[in-house]
């Protein structure tokens, strides 16, 4: 396994040091404990904090900035951050209005964010993202949080920027999360630096349907097929879950898992768009690219969010982070 790396133990910090320098206009990075914070936090707002294991970049560190997260706490690759990271991040960016944590539904993340919330001196609420429909709703460990997290963080981030209350943001975040569903497909496993090899191996004629962003087993190992057939299966699974009606407005997010080309992602977007267009569902907003990756996994996920007018307005609101940008004026690239 070849990677640009010096040592497994120093990878995260060396990478964060580069991130801090490349985006010095937007963020500051603390290393002990580790968190990325927005350079200038708007006063009087609820602080939005997320985090999770590294290896999914740009999620979450790439979403710290104006109109989105106030801080993100990266754990080691595929490893939950610790409560002291969330606590330190909250102390750095939170004011009287409290903290909203946005947490992907994994046991370690949930436990550590809960511990941080208990130790915190200010009010806090948590939005749990569990958009991965690979597992049934009633599964004992619940559904995983995957690419839909970006949609939750963007929409809630815009509302926080408007000065909305903690309870308001919690309600909004839950609404976005409940209206969001994702499904992923892997064409290959990914290479975790600490393991030195692939998380799993797929024969040349197989795909992992419903894969998680750490290479978790999905619904089944299926036959490799044409893009049309694979995407049809993905969108039908999402459609069955969310059941958007004719005339409904939705956001369609096609996310690359790491090693899949933009050409393919736009092709997947085209096929998914065509499906919902035929169903009479309006693709009102779109996002295509690598936003929630699984290291160097070849594969992609499709995410759909049922939108209401408020969610559309908040999606369109200005954002300026390392990885997601629109609508701000007079913003240099990294001056």
In this complex, which beta carbon is closest to a second copy, that of residue 130 or of residue 260?
260
Judged by CB under 8 A, which of 84, 115, 224, 239 binds a second copy? 224
214 is a catalytic site residue? yes
23 is a catalytic site residue? no
Which residues ranging from 162 to 201 are in contact with a second copy (CB under 8 A)? 187-188
DSSP-based helix, strand, coil % in the chain, nearest 5: 30, 25, 40
> Under a CB-based contact definition with an 8 Å cutoff, are residues 23 and 16 in contact?
no
51/164 Cα distance (integer angstroms): 22
Which has the closest alpha carbon to 147: 276, 39, 234? Answer: 234
| Least Å from the CB of residue 25 to a second copy | 10
Judged by CB under 8 A, which of 264, 279, 282, 310 binds a second copy? 264
Q: How many chain residues interact with a second copy (CB under 8 A)?
A: 72
> Under a CB-based contact definition with an 8 Å cutoff, are residues 100 and 89 in contact?
no
| Least Å from the CB of residue 326 to a second copy | 5
| Least Å from the CB of residue 86 to a second copy | 21
Select which of 23, 56, 60, 273 is catalytic.
56
| Least Å from the CB of residue 319 to a second copy | 8
33/112 Cα distance (integer angstroms): 14
228/173 Cα distance (integer angstroms): 33
Judged by CB under 8 A, which of 96, 138, 140, 329 binds a second copy? 329
* Residue 204 in the binding site for a second copy (CB under 8 A): yes
In this complex, which beta carbon is closest to a second copy, that of residue 95 or of residue 289?
289
In this complex, which beta carbon is closest to a second copy, that of residue 19 or of residue 101?
19
180/173 Cα distance (integer angstroms): 11
**Which tokens is 316 given?**
């369109």
* Residue 248 in the binding site for a second copy (CB under 8 A): no
252/174 Cα distance (integer angstroms): 19
Judged by CB under 8 A, which of 15, 30, 171, 239 binds a second copy? 15
CA dihedral over 150, 240, 254, 110, signed as positive or negative: positive
3-state DSSP assignment of residue 31: strand
* CB neighbour class for 95 (10 Å; exposed up to 12, middle 13-18, buried from 19): middle
Judged by CB under 8 A, which of 268, 281, 311, 314 binds a second copy? 268
Judged by CB under 8 A, which of 4, 43, 247, 309 binds a second copy? 4
Judged by CB under 8 A, which of 231, 237, 304, 311 binds a second copy? 231
Judged by CB under 8 A, which of 96, 263, 278, 309 binds a second copy? 263
* Residue 110 in the binding site for a second copy (CB under 8 A): no
Which has the closest alpha carbon to 189: 171, 175, 207? Answer: 207
Select which of 23, 60, 191, 214 is catalytic.
214
| Least Å from the CB of residue 164 to a second copy | 20
> Under a CB-based contact definition with an 8 Å cutoff, are residues 184 and 146 in contact?
yes
Which residues ranging from 280 to 319 are in contact with a second copy (CB under 8 A)? 283-288, 290, 293, 295-296, 298, 300, 315-316
Judged by CB under 8 A, which of 17, 39, 139, 245 binds a second copy? 17
Which residues ranging from 59 to 88 are in contact with a second copy (CB under 8 A)? 62, 77
Which has the closest alpha carbon to 98: 45, 38, 60? Answer: 45
66 bridge partner residues? 320
Lay out the sheet containing 206-209: strands in order across.
220-223, 206-209, 180-186, 299-306, 249-256, 282-289
Which residues ranging from 18 to 37 are in contact with a second copy (CB under 8 A)? 18-19, 21-22
- Cite the active site residues: 56, 214
């Amino acid at each position: 396994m070849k990677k640009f790396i010096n040592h497994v133990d120093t990878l995260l910090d060396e990478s964060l040091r580069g991130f801090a320098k490349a985006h010095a206009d937007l963020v500051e990075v603390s290393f002990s404990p580790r968190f990325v914070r927005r350079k200038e936090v708007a006063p009087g707002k609820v602080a939005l904090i997320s985090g999770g294991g590294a290896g999914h970049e740009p999620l979450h560190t790439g979403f710290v900035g104006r109109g989105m997260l106030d801080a993100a706490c990266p754990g080691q690759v595929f490893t939950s951050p610790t409560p002291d990271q969330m606590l330190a991040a909250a102390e750095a960016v939170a004011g009287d209005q409290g903290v909203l944590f946005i947490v992907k539904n994994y046991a370690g993340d949930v436990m550590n964010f809960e511990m941080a919330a208990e130790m915190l001196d200010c009010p806090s609420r948590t939005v749990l993202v569990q958009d991965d429909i690979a597992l049934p709703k009633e599964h004992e460990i619940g559904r995983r949080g995957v690419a839909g997290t970006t949609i939750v963080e963007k929409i809630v981030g815009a509302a926080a920027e408007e000065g909305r209350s903690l309870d308001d943001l919690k309600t909004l975040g839950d609404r976005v999360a409940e209206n969001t569903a994702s499904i992923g497909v892997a064409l290959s496993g990914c290479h975790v630096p600490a393991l030195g090899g692939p998380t799993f191996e797929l024969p040349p004629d197989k795909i992992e349907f419903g894969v998680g962003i750490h290479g978790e087993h999905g619904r089944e190992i299926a036959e490799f097929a044409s893009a049309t057939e694979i995407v049809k299966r993905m969108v039908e699974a999402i459609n069955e879950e969310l059941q958007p009606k004719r005339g409904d407005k939705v956001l369609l997010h096609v996310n690359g898992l790491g090693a899949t080309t933009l050409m393919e992602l736009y092709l997947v977007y085209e096929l998914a768009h065509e499906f919902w267009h035929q169903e009479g569902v309006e693709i009102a907003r779109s996002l295509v690219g690598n936003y929630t990756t699984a290291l160097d996994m070849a594969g992609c996920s499709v995410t759909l969010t049922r939108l209401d007018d408020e969610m559309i307005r908040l999606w369109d609101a200005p954002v300026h982070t390392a990885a997601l940008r629109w609508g701000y004026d007079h913003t240099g690239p990294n001056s």
